[in-house]
A and B are shown apart, each in its own frame.
Chain A
Amino acid sequence: MTRKMTSGTIIIITFALTIVMAIVAIGLGSVRIPIPEILQTIFGTTSEDVHNTIIFDIRMPRVLLAMIIGANIAISGALLQAVMGNPLADPGLTGVTSGAAVFVLVIMLAMPEYTNFIPIAAFIGGLLAALIVYSLAWKRNGISPITIILSGVAVNALAGGAMGYLSIMYSDRLPAAVQWMNGSLAAKGNNSLYMILPYAIVGWIASIFAIRKANIIRMGDQVASNLGEKVNRIRILLSLIAVFLAAISVATIGMIGFVGLIVPHMARFLVGSNYKYLLPMSMALGALVLLVADTGGRTLFAPMDIPAGILMAVIGGPYFLYLMRRRGF
């Protein structure tokens, strides 16, 4: 019972912390806005609107985007880890992210007139990558950590090659895509926010419905099947949700690695492996981590705006190595 209480409390605290961080982040930047003024502007209790544009058109959309996308990728990673029965599964390492990115890049560079289809293209690309990883890594007894990493390497190499080819073929149009490729939230405004929000809400609702199934499938195929579950159907369903959440994130701000790996891992450490707690915790923590990464990226080296994806890679790489070492892979 006490365990339940603390897990719930930890999740609430993390959500609260994320909101506080969001307000702080809105205040940070070339023009500093004190927190009371932010709150007054947001809740409309002031008649002065000096900061209206900065808050509503620039900082708030970016802060919200970072939170939404952080949550998306973290949930995606948590679900993939359940499906693959493997703590190293994450949309980046498995190639889902880069698969989605290739398809986005094709549209951005080769067919810019179809920009509206970017989210769908990302979803298809992500699915394709997931399919390749499954068919490569699947052994009769499930997926082993090593084969998943190797298949991920193969898919990532393939995607890297495709992206390299595209950047050479369309080098004249490349500058527009570079920011996106590095996973940057710079200059993202309300348009991006409105684009991703409906998709994200659909994905979140779907993942709430997935909690129970994720809990069963993490027990292993044999046990799940013995409990009367159709293992393959669950696996496909959960993978679809995971790929969807990762793909819409890639479509919006490009490739951000390691959030899907690190966040569920930290969440598991804090609230345990029961998805009833792990999923909301990953969501809150994912939002917080990417928000901190993005805010750090745009303020620490101001006026330079370091893409959040780069910051995550710098922090995430060593953490991944630490994980591998500790788990003895």
Chain B
Amino acid sequence: MFTVDSISVRYDQKTTIQDFSFSVEKGEVLSIIGPNGSGKSTLLKAISGFTPYYKGTVMLEGTNIKSMKSKQIAQKMCMLSQKNQAPNDMSVKDLVSYGRFPHKRWFEKLNDEDMEIIDWALSKTYLTEYQDRPVSSLSGGESQRAWIAMALAQSPKILLLDEPTTYLDISHQHEVLELVRELNSEMDMTVLMVLHDLNQASQYSDRIVVVQSGEKAMQGTPKEVMTQEMIRSVYCMDCEIQYVQTERKPRIHLLKKVK
């Protein structure tokens, strides 16, 4: 579905991502984790084409992204950043309708099919009742849902999320991640996201890639990746890993900083 092959990114003359490779299978949720400044967001931005990379290739469904038109890419891949701000007076529905832009030519108007997709995206994110309200009047969680709705209207094959829960309180974090899981399981949407919270990454991902100082430290299923050794070497924290009977995913309890 999506293959990243030894890409390197330079930022202010400094190489921040070094020969990074991994691939995302169709229909899976893959999370990128790593400490602050490890380069995980930069990696996602490079993949999405926002930050240039000077080496390596990114293949989307077997085609090199660099040989694709930006509009073609936008029809297949959608990236949502940490914090987004819509103009103050923009309604939820207007925002969501922007998702249709990559599918339209310059002066083409939205047709019935587009409107159907927009309505569907609104109902999928439980925002139908809010559609005429300005995005700026929504709570943090609702507004993040509105942006996800816009991403859905873009009808991408793969959704890139950069720390989608960072600015939300815990219940809204849960809500957003449940929505992501729902989209993944119901629509088979491939999701690649950067997450901060280890337990969220463990709970919601099929596979995890660990980034440390711009290089890949580890990758695998949550069970393979979430080990005391990994957390000690990457985050310098001691922890306990616990398995709850009803879940297959490990839970991490951080204990103390490694001296």
Known: A216-B98, A216-B101, A274-B94. A226 touches B78 (CB 8 A): yes
**Interface assignment of A230: CB less than 8 Å from any CB of chain B:** yes
Known: A212-B106, A272-B89. A228 touches B73 (CB 8 A): yes
Question: In the complex, what's the smallest C-beta–C-beta distance from B121 to chain A, in angstroms?
Answer: 15
Residues of A near B27 (CB, < 8 A) are none
- Select the stretch in A199-207, A217-225, A244-252, A308-316 that faces chain B: A217-225
Contact of B71 among A220, A221, A228, A274 (CB under 8 A): A228
**Interface assignment of A192: CB less than 8 Å from any CB of chain B:** no
A221 vs B70: C-alpha distance in the bound complex, in angstroms?
14
- Whether B88 pairs with A226 at a CB distance below 8 angstroms is no
- Whether A273 pairs with B88 at a CB distance below 8 angstroms is yes
**Interface assignment of B3: CB less than 8 Å from any CB of chain A:** no
- Select the stretch in B16-24, B79-87, B163-171 that faces chain A: B79-87
- Whether A226 pairs with B89 at a CB distance below 8 angstroms is no
**Interface assignment of B190: CB less than 8 Å from any CB of chain A:** no
**Interface assignment of A229: CB less than 8 Å from any CB of chain B:** yes
Residues of B near A229 (CB, < 8 A) are 70, 101
Known: A272-B89, A273-B90. A222 touches B102 (CB 8 A): no
A212 vs B85: C-alpha distance in the bound complex, in angstroms?
18
A229 vs B94: C-alpha distance in the bound complex, in angstroms?
18
A/B pair count, beta carbons within 8 Å: 53
**Interface assignment of B48: CB less than 8 Å from any CB of chain A:** yes
A272 vs B90: C-alpha distance in the bound complex, in angstroms?
8
**Interface assignment of A227: CB less than 8 Å from any CB of chain B:** yes
**Interface assignment of B140: CB less than 8 Å from any CB of chain A:** no
Within B75-120, the residues touching A (CB, 8 Å) are 75, 78-81, 84-90, 94, 98-99, 101-102, 106-107
Contact of A226 among B74, B85, B86 (CB under 8 A): B74
Residues of A near B71 (CB, < 8 A) are 228
A228 vs B49: C-alpha distance in the bound complex, in angstroms?
10
Residues of B near A218 (CB, < 8 A) are 87
Closest residue on chain A to residue B147 by CB atoms: A223
Known: A228-B101, A228-B102. A219 touches B74 (CB 8 A): no
A228 vs B104: C-alpha distance in the bound complex, in angstroms?
11
Contact of B85 among A220, A227, A228, A274 (CB under 8 A): A220
Within A267-296, the residues touching B (CB, 8 Å) are 272-274
A185 vs B84: C-alpha distance in the bound complex, in angstroms?
45
Closest residue on chain A to residue B76 by CB atoms: A228
Closest residue on chain B to residue A213 by CB atoms: B106
Contact of A223 among B73, B84, B94 (CB under 8 A): B84
Contact with B along A73-113 (1 / 0, CB 8 A): 00000000000000000000000000000000000000000
Residues of B near A221 (CB, < 8 A) are 50
Contact of B75 among A219, A225, A228 (CB under 8 A): A228
A144 vs B73: C-alpha distance in the bound complex, in angstroms?
30
A220 vs B83: C-alpha distance in the bound complex, in angstroms?
11
- Whether B75 pairs with A226 at a CB distance below 8 angstroms is no
Residues of A near B48 (CB, < 8 A) are 226
Within B215-233, the residues touching A (CB, 8 Å) are none
Question: In the complex, what's the smallest C-beta–C-beta distance from A234 to chain B, in angstroms?
Answer: 11
A218 vs B87: C-alpha distance in the bound complex, in angstroms?
8
- Whether B50 pairs with A225 at a CB distance below 8 angstroms is yes
**Interface assignment of B154: CB less than 8 Å from any CB of chain A:** yes
A48 vs B50: C-alpha distance in the bound complex, in angstroms?
68
Task: Tell me which of B69, B74, B75 has the highest count of chain A C-beta atoms within 10 A of its own C-beta.
Answer: B74
Residues of B near A228 (CB, < 8 A) are 69-75, 101-102
A272 vs B79: C-alpha distance in the bound complex, in angstroms?
27
Question: In the complex, what's the smallest C-beta–C-beta distance from A279 to chain B, in angstroms?
Answer: 14
Residues of B near A220 (CB, < 8 A) are 84-85
Contact of B87 among A212, A225, A230, A273 (CB under 8 A): A273
- Whether B75 pairs with A273 at a CB distance below 8 angstroms is no
A303 vs B13: C-alpha distance in the bound complex, in angstroms?
64
Closest residue on chain A to residue B132 by CB atoms: A3
Known: A216-B101, A228-B70, A228-B75. A222 touches B87 (CB 8 A): no
Question: In the complex, what's the smallest C-beta–C-beta distance from A62 to chain B, in angstroms?
Answer: 36
Binding site for A on B (CB under 8 A): 48-50, 69-75, 78-81, 84-90, 94, 98-99, 101-102, 106-107, 154
Could you list 20 further interchain pairs (A-B, Cβ under 8 angstroms) beyond the known A228-B69, A272-B89, A273-B89? A212-B107, A218-B87, A219-B86, A221-B50, A222-B84, A223-B81, A223-B84, A225-B49, A225-B70, A226-B74, A226-B78, A226-B80, A227-B101, A228-B70, A228-B71, A228-B101, A229-B70, A273-B87, A273-B88, A274-B90
Closest 3 CB pairs of A and B: A228-B74, A228-B71, A228-B102
